[in-house]
């Protein structure tokens, strides 16, 4: 398969998502990393975005609640190269009614090769990486084959 580079600018577009049982963990992580996060553009689902704005004093682009379509909105933004980075503290021990949406969101992150953290340790390593504050070209499979395969010559 062929690959193409997608530029991620120094100011990353970061999606912040957490299941209900993990919202406090994500908020604690964000408070600890507030100074690093303020240099980036933040997106969040539902109440997570409002809580982050109130608690951190940072501008957050708020989308719908995850179960109401917010996970899919983030997935669409990933596919459209509008989000560079996903921090998704999900709860592996609690069944979620919107589990197919969660799996679809994680799938989009892998398909489009964006950095993804599902727990605090991974998020800590990623946000402290020297790559966070500079341009980075991530390689993405060139999906033109799929989009063009049914077009008539």
Q: Dump pLDDT digits (tens) for 20-77.
A: 889 999 999 999 999 999 999 999 988 889 899 999 999 999 999 877 888 899 999 9
Structural domain of residue 84, as residue ranges?
Answer: 11-134
Q: How confident is the prediction for the chain on average, in pLDDT?
A: 90
Q: What is residue 102's predicted lDDT score, i.e. its pLDDT?
A: 81
Total domains present in the chain: 1
| CATH number of residue 30's parent domain | 3.40.50.1380
> Is 24 a member of any domain?
yes
Could you tell me what percent of the chain has a pLDDT over 70?
93
Residue 131 CA to residue 128 CA, distance in Å, equals 8
Q: Dump pLDDT digits (tens) for 85-100.
A: 999 998 776 766 667 7
Stronger pLDDT, 148 or 127, i.e. the higher one: 127
Supply φ then ψ for residue 136, to 5 degrees: -145, 130
> In the annotation, is 71 catalytic?
yes
Eight-class DSSP state of 63: -
> Is 144 a member of any domain?
no
Q: What is the DSSP string of 71-129?
A: HHHHHHHHHTT---EEEEE--TTS--TTHHHHHHHHHHHHHTT--EESSHHHHHHHHTS
> Is 46 a member of any domain?
yes
Catalytic residue among 20, 25, 35, 71: 71
pTM of the model: 0.90
Q: What is residue 140's predicted lDDT score, i.e. its pLDDT?
A: 92
């Amino acid at each position: 398969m062929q690959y193409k580079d997608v530029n991620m600018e120094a100011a990353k577009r970061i999606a912040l998502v957490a299941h209900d049982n993990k919202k406090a963990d994500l908020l604690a992580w964000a408070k600890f990393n507030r100074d690093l996060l303020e240099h980036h553009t933040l997106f969040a689902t539902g109440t997570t975005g409002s809580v982050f704005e109130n608690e951190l004093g940072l501008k957050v682009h708020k989308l719908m609640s995850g179960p109401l379509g917010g996970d899919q909105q983030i997935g669409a933004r990933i596919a459209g190269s509008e989000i560079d980075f996903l921090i998704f503290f999900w709860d592996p021990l609690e069944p979620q009614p919107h589990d197919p949406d969660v799996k679809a969101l994680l799938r989009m992150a892998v398909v489009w090769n964006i950095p993804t953290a599902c727990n605090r340790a991974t998020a800590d390593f990623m946000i402290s990486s020297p790559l966070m504050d500079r341009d980075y070209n991530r390689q993405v499979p060139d999906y033109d084959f799929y989009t063009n395969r049914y077009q008539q010559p």
